[in-house]
Amino acid sequence: MKQKLKAAATGTLKSLRMIAPMLLAIIGLIGLFKTYITPEMLRALFNGAALHDMLVGVGFGGISVGQPFLSYIIGGELLKEGASFYGVTAFILAFVTLGVVQLPMEFSIFGFRFALVRNLLSLLFSFVLAFLIAFCVRIFT
């Protein structure tokens, strides 16, 4: 048991050491994105048309980073500013499920094929689910 514990601790430390540089790089990038891409910049890009706002929403949701609650606050503000519900839903989904900034880390840990398939599917699902969610909300309210 003791030997097993020791081996597990060594293995865990080894993986921590292995991901540390990539983790620090991603965190550094997150700081840059949070500082250089502001909610005001996002607001200027939505125009209220469903398809246009969905494209913009997915694009900017995918490159924005931060705590999920930020996407709700920005999304709420975007709605008030006249962005379409489809676009705001797409923005929130892309914000929490896609991460252009953390892509290099995903590729290096999971390997190229897995990371590519997962991200392409998530990109596609941001559109599909945004449409389904906004459509259902419209029916129910």
How many residues are listed for the chain in this entry? Answer: 141
CB 103 within 8 A of CB 115: yes
What is the rounded CA–CA span in Å between residue 47 and residue 63?
19
- Among 8, 41, 48, 81, interactor with another protein by CB under 8 A: 8
Residue where the block lists tokens 């060594």: 10
What is the rounded CA–CA span in Å between residue 118 and residue 64?
18
The answer to the question of residue 31 lying near another protein (CB under 8 A) is yes
Query: Binding mask 96-125 vs another protein (x if CB under 8 A, - otherwise)?
Result: xx-x--x-xxxxxxxx-xx--xx--xx--x
Would you tell me which residues interact with another protein (CB under 8 A)?
A: 4-5, 7-9, 11-12, 15-16, 18-32, 34-36, 68-69, 72-73, 75-76, 89, 92-93, 96-97, 99, 102, 104-111, 113-114, 117-118, 121-122, 125, 128-129, 132-133, 136-137, 140-141
